[in-house]
Structure formats: structure tokens, C-alpha cells
Structure 1
């Protein structure tokens, strides 16, 4: 009996050690981090300290960045093999720009904070304000609009980079002003991102003027891997809002991802650029895009040397669903499925593979990636309100067509901005409550921006455009188009005609259903059955006499056949 009691006591003690070993450690009190000092020496001290703490003291424990304190650090904080760890960000972590020795190494440029080969990681906050803050101080890298990009190109740090991380939870934080990509996850497996804000902007204008867009490459979330769920997130950036990327690991596949209940603005919800891997089973749903540049954006690029060396030159994007997506006033193409429209060169019109200047410039080229394949793409319940350009571009190759694409209730509407666009910005995009500290754009606002804002305030009326009708001109439609405007007698170019798709080529088995309008000219309109047609008429008509007449006719026919 005494032996049994001794064994039980030993087991109890072992369990107590196992479950009681996790500690809460404070970055300031326990390790001596110095707050509120952005001098180079203190940033270096805090950076080195945080690197050591992450390496030696956080696995199995909780690291607290305490509330009420701002800790200034430098980029290049890297840790590897972090497990069963919680980073509780109650205060502020702010990355100051510095020229460091590690910047001279081979690309890519060192990230601000990088976590590799880790598992069971939680980044959260218990701040009284509800969220902690990681500030990348992007304006220090963006510099003078356009000039800053010429000086640095893409030699800028990502804000957060996770390589091959399993079971990752990120919640209740704000990621502000990343110098480059904001949240980058490579080869991830088992990711939940919820209740966070991502913001990168240079002015307070409602949308994306040319000044804001000089915060180049500030993607919101870039992810490759498997089993990813992103929900209840707001994103205001100047590049891809969310982008599913090539997976360099795990059989070169990115699969099983759901993105839902998002409020976003930027270059939209993106698949790509895909070079040589397979992306499948991806869903975007129940989300709102506010004055984006692009909306639904799927893109292939030509494989680079890394992919060619491994004989991986045929990208595949399949089984993709966009459902219940609403867009207000997209400034470019609301829907783009085809080659990546990008430059990646000093010449902004260089086609890589499709020029940013296409089709506006007569000399611009748009090359289709022949080797790569789109198949089984579905768009359901998509509303595009007040587009400034054609509803979209669909470009496959004649020898490798976009195969099996369905547009079900994909509608273009016009008129008064949608109710969602008139909600208070702090409700739809709480991240924009963060103040803008950009010394390189002291109040730069263009005349066109002011005029466009005033028009939006004065706009009235809102109706669905009747399928098959011409889209009436209106202050909210095709405005700010420069030389070709509704007040100008000159012909409007094809890419600004909002009543038709600009391009629809290389598409096989394209099907249109429901109240989709306009119909892409290379699609087939699926004919509903007689019973479905009658139900549509009964539900949509507002004339009771017509409903009554149809009912009497049906009863008469039934009576005749019954006799």
C-alpha cells in the first residue's frame, strides 16, 4: 500500500511539473527591455534581447510585451524551432529603419520578425484596448512618392514571416505600415487568423490615389500551405489584400483554405502569382471590397529559374470558389482571370507577362502563360457596384483554355454607393483609426480626389441595371476617366465600357446562370427549366395583375389536360 501511495505521489508530482511548468515572462521586467527610446543603440539592444528571449525563454511559456510601453527595435529578428509558445502583445513593438550588416547577404531581404520551423504558436493580446500593435514604420522605406521605390526597389523587410509553421493562431493585433509584405506564411499547415487589422496607407483619402499606391508591395496576407482559415479581418493595403501563393514545400501544393467575413481594399482577393505549383480547394466568401483597385484577381506568371531547374513549369489553379463578394467602385478590373498584370522591372510597362499599361497603351503587350491551367472556377452572388472600367478580363490560351468556369448571379450595378460603403469607417476598417505618420507626404491631395469625394457625398439614387440594357451614365459610373468622360463628346475606349467584358478568350465550358449581367461574350447562358422561369417571374414581378394572369393561365391549362 505504501508503495502504491509513493507511486501515486510521484505521478502527481510529475503531472504538477508538466502542467505547472509554463511561465509568464515579461519583456521589460524579467529581461530588461528598454521602452520609449528609438536611438540606434537601444534598438540594437532590444532587438538582440528579443532574439535571445525567443530562442531560449519562450518555448513552453508566454512572453508578454507589456501594455503601456512601446519598444523600438530593428528588423532581422529571427528565431527557429519555437514550440508551444504564446506571444502576448499588449503593448507596441515598433521597427525602426537601419542599415545593418545582415542586409548585405543574399536575397530575400531580412524580415522584421521571422519564425521558422515552429509549431503550436499563438500571437494574441489581452490589452485593455483589445489589440496590441506591431508597427513596421513603412514610410521610412517608402520615402518620397515614386522616388523611394526607385532608390530601394523591393529591398525592404516583410513585417512578419513564418516559414513551415504548424498550428499557428494570430488574433487581436494590428499590423501597421509594413515596409513590404505584411504577413507572409510559407509552407504553413493549420493556421487560424482572426480579429486582426492590417493597414498600410499614406493619406486619409477614401480609396487608392496615386500617392497611396506608392506604398508598393504592401500585401496584406500572403500564404502557401494547407488548412488555413482567415476570418473577421479588415485589410487596407496598397497591393494584394490576400494572396494564395506557390508552395515551395510539401509537394508544391497549396490546398484547403477558407477566407470569410473580410472587409478589404487594395488589389483584391488573389490567387497568385502562380509559377509552377498547384493551388486547389480555395474559398473566398461573405466579404466586402471597398473601392479596390482590382477585385477578384487570379494570375499566372512564367516560372523562374528555381521552378525550371526542378522541371516544375506547369502551374494549376483548380476548384476555386468566390461566393457572396460585394465590391464598391473598383477603379480597375473587378474580375481578372489570366496572366499576372505586373512589371517587376524599372520600366512600369514591361510585360511580365502582362503589362500594367495594357490595354491603355497601344504598344503594351499582354502575354498569356500557355503552360499553366485554370479549371473549375466558380463565382456565385458577386455584386460589382459602380465599376470605373469594364467588368473584367478572362484570358486563357487557345491550346490550354480556362476549363469549366461558372458565373452564377455575377452582376454589375450602378447608382448610389452601397449601404456597406456608407458605414462608419471605424466599424468596417478599425485599423484605419491608427494615425498616419508619413513625413514624405505632408498633406498631398490631388484635385481629382477632392472632386471625387464631393461627388460621392452628393450621389443619389440606386438601382440594379436591367440585364441586357445599356448602363446609363451617372456621376458614379465612368467618372474621373480623364479625357474620355461623359461630358466629353469623344468616343469612350473599350476598356472603360462598363456594360461588357473587355476580353473573354481561351475559355472552355464557360457557363452563366441566374441574373448575371453583363454576360461574358465567350460564355453560354444556361437556360432555366420552364418551372424555374415561372418562379423567377412570380418572384421578381411587382405587377399583381401579371401574377394573377399567369396563375389563371396555369389553372386553365391544368383543367384542359385533366379533362
Structure 2
């Protein structure tokens, strides 16, 4: 029934949902496949076991039928190698009561024979009415562990760059539920849903940290970069009641690919009751395209960010001359950001290490640059009831292109207590190329905004 409830929730906030039917209208076989019973080897981390379990899991996915449940039994750890793949699963449940843990052996990790690109840990495509869940009591979760620490770090990045496996990647799928799972220590992005329609993620946590006892993002912790939490591109997405700790985007709304079949835009998404710490509750990065990229009707609300690196983060990137895109109708509401170590609010060009991006060292290192892409249209971005306590730097950055300025940017009750003075001093924000309004109890207001009375 969650699909019907999901549609009602999205409709209640003005986010349209396509017609969905509940799973109890579909046929069931009610067959439970216990992974250990059919031959899975528990609590053995040898490479032979990793390969054997992976081969069996792929066979099991290939054999699943309408109504089947795959059970990973409680209090057991099943070690795997990457390259787990399933296609075309319909009306099945994957119930993880135990632990699925991946090998960290990069030498033998499966790769594409031509490109040498690593295979994902899990890759799913063309799923329909599939549930990922656990049946454990409240306070306990099934675990998928990517053993990411051996893939992280500056030296590792210099050697392998971004050729690392995502923990879960799902493509071209509909009507999915993910619940009661801990996604731990992904080697790369934790969860990517691309070209998705009707996805709910609830009570599912992301944890990717170098030191499990550290609760702030220092230089050592930031070695776990590129460990995005939930990255989503598609339509009708609801993520709620989740905890995220990582060292890249906590949640990122991505653009749809030009080949997407469900919707040309990433749109109609609600993220609420999220506890997040990392590089932001994020839109992007969004780049213009020949087919017109579009991200619209996105809401983040009722969420907290403690000791985070970035807070609210909307980012564009350059594109070819004449290509276009839009970021429109985005709302952040009732967000608490405490002790941000970098920017509490960033609306503008992506900070990154590639050519023509805003430098990661800007504005602190002389000679670094922050070019502002022209091809993205920004319109109707609302920050309402945002509380920022004790940021270590100036509150933020709002940078639009002067030839295509941001329009209708509203700060309504955006209150910053004890704002840092670096690098903008009593201006508090870098602010240009924006038509913005500050109203309510917005203090301090961005200097290029118009002040609207109460």
C-alpha cells in the first residue's frame, strides 16, 4: 500500500504523482528463498567465498519470480565480490536481515575488459515493484557494507581517480521501496537511482567515515570524498526519516540523461526529516544540454545538519555554447544548520577540480577563479525558516551570471547567529547576478537582495 500513500503525500505538497497501484493488487507466489539454505556461505571472508557467494546471488536473482522474497538471514555475514547484477525483477522483495559485505580487494575486482571500468557492487535495471527491506525490530537494520576504506584517500585517488564501484546503482526502474537498511562505507557513491519513477526511501541510513568515532569533517575524514549519499534522477521521489553521514553530497538531485524514458526532467521530489552531515542537501551539479536540462519542483524540509561541511548547496556547471537548462521551483524549509565548517548556503557554480569549475580553493588562495556558467536559468528558489548557528565561515555564496541572472530568489526568515567574518567580512555573503528578496527575520540579509518589510 505504500505506493498509494506515497502518491497522496506528494499530492499534498503539490507534487504530482503518476497513477500507481498497490503491490497487493499483483500476483504473489509467496516463496521465500533463504540465501544460506540454497548454498550461501556465511561468516567467511576468503576470496573463494566472495566469488562463490556472488555467483550464487546472481543466479538467485536470475531465478526470482513474481512474489518471491530473497532472505539474507539475521546475524550472518555473507562476503561478496562486486558485479552483482539483476534485470527485470517484478514484484519481489529483497529482505536483508543480516549483512552483505563486499571484498576490498581491488586487484581482482571485476572490470569491463575493454575500458577497465570497475563493475558496481550492485547494479539493477528495469525493476518494477521491488522492495529492499529488513524485518528487524526498531533500532536495528540490515546492512550492506562496501568496505570502502581501502578505496579512499588522496594516494588512492591519484592512482585510481573515480574508477571506484558504487554500492547500489539502479537504472530505468519504477515503483521501488527501500527501507530499514544501513548502507555503510561505500567505495564511491552510495546509492544512485537514475531514470527512476516512483521511489520511496525511508528509515535507511548512510554512513561513510574514515574514523567511526569522529563526528566532524576534518581533513582526515574528507579522504572519504565521492561517497555521495542518495543521488537521484527521475520523477516522484520521496526520501524521509533517514540519517546520512558522508564526505560528499548527502542528497543530490541529478539531471536526467538524454535517453531517459520516464521523464525529461528530474522533478517532483520531496526530502524530509533528514539528519545529514557532509557536503550538502544538494541540487546538481546541473549542466546545460542541447535537449534542455531541467530540474524542478523539489522540496527539502524539516531537516537538520550538524557539524556539516556544506549545508544548502545548489550548483551549476558549464556547458556548450547555446545549450540550456533550468533549476526552478526549489524550496528549502525548516532547516537547522549547526557549526558548518565551510559554506552554510551556496547557490551558484559548482566547486570542483575540473577545468572551468569554481576552484575548490576560491576565494582563499590568490589567483584562483570562480567562473559562473551562463546556460542555466535559475528561477523561484525559496529558503524559508532556515536557522544557521555558528558557521565557521561567512554564511554563504549566491552567484548568478550577469547576462542570465538568477530570478525570484527569496530568503524568508533565514537567520544566521554568530556569522563568521571570513572571507566576506560584514557583507557576509558573496552576492551578484541575483534578483533576490530578503523578508521576515532574515539576518544578515545578502547585500545584493532587496529588503522587503514584514
TM value normalised by structure 2:
0.89
- Say if 2:356 is the partner of 1:356: no
Q: Per-residue displacement from partner, 1:297-350 (whole Å, max 9, x unpaired)?
A: 0001123xxxx6xx9831210000000000001011111111000114xxxxxx
* d(CA) in 1 for partners of 2:28, 2:377: 53
2:216 is the counterpart of 1:287: no
**Distance in 2 between the 1:285 and 1:387 partners?**
20
Indicate which of 257, 260, 270 corresponds to 1:258: 270
Q: How does 1:134-149 map to 2 (within 5 A)?
A: 134-142=144-152, 145-149=153-157
The answer on 1:151 being equivalent to 2:159 is: yes
Q: TM-score, normalising length from structure 1?
A: 0.72
Q: 2:433 aligns with which of 502, 506, 512?
A: 506
Task: Tell me if the contact between 1:341 and 1:352 (Cα under 8 Å) persists in the aligned partners.
Answer: no
**Contact persistence 2:101–2:146 (CA under 8 A):** yes
Query: Do residues 408 (structure 1) and 412 (structure 2) align?
Result: yes
Structure 1 residue 207 corresponds to structure 2 residue 211: no
User: C-alpha distance in 1, partners of 2:232/2:180?
Assistant: 19
> How far, CA to CA, are the matches of 1:178 and 1:96 in structure 2?
11
Q: List gaps (5 residues or longer) in structure 1.
A: 1-17, 345-350, 415-470, 472-477, 479-491, 529-563
Cα displacement (A) at 1:500? 3.0
Is residue 192 of structure 2 the alignment partner of residue 180 of structure 1? no
Distance of aligned partners of 1:107 and 1:326 in 2 relative to their CA distance in 1, 3 Å threshold: farther
Match of residue 246 from structure 2:
237
User: Of the two, which has the highest radius of gyration?
Assistant: 1
Which residue among 313, 331, 341 is the counterpart of 1:321? 331
Kept in 2, the 8 Å contact 1:381–1:409? The answer is yes
Match of residue 39 from structure 2: 32
Partner residue of 1:335? 345
| Aligned Cα root-mean-square deviation (Å) | 1.7
- Distance 1:20-1:501 versus aligned 2 partners, 3 A rule: closer
Given the alignment of the two structures, is residue 224 of structure 1 paired with residue 233 of structure 2, yes or no? yes
Q: Which runs of 5+ in 2 are unaligned?
A: 1-25
Q: 1-side partners of 2:409 and 2:80: how far apart? A: 48
Shift of 1:20: 5.7
Higher strand share: 2
| Shift in CA distance, 413/108, structure 1 to aligned 2, threshold 3 Å | farther
Q: Which has the higher helix share?
A: 1
Q: Could you report, residue by residue, the CA deviation over 1:365-404 in whole angstroms, capped at 9, with x for unpaired residues?
A: 1111111111100000001100111111111111100011
> Could you tell me which residue of structure 1 aligns to residue 201 of structure 2?
193
SS of residue paired to 1:527: coil
| 1:45 alignment counterpart | 52
- Over 3 Å counting, the alpha-carbon distance change for 1:301 and 1:108 in structure 2 is farther
User: Contact 2:394 / 2:422 at 8 angstroms: preserved in 1?
Assistant: no
- Trace 1:12-31 onto structure 2 (pairs within 5 A): 21-29=29-37, 31=38
Aligned equivalents of 1:500, 1:411: Cα separation in 2: 15
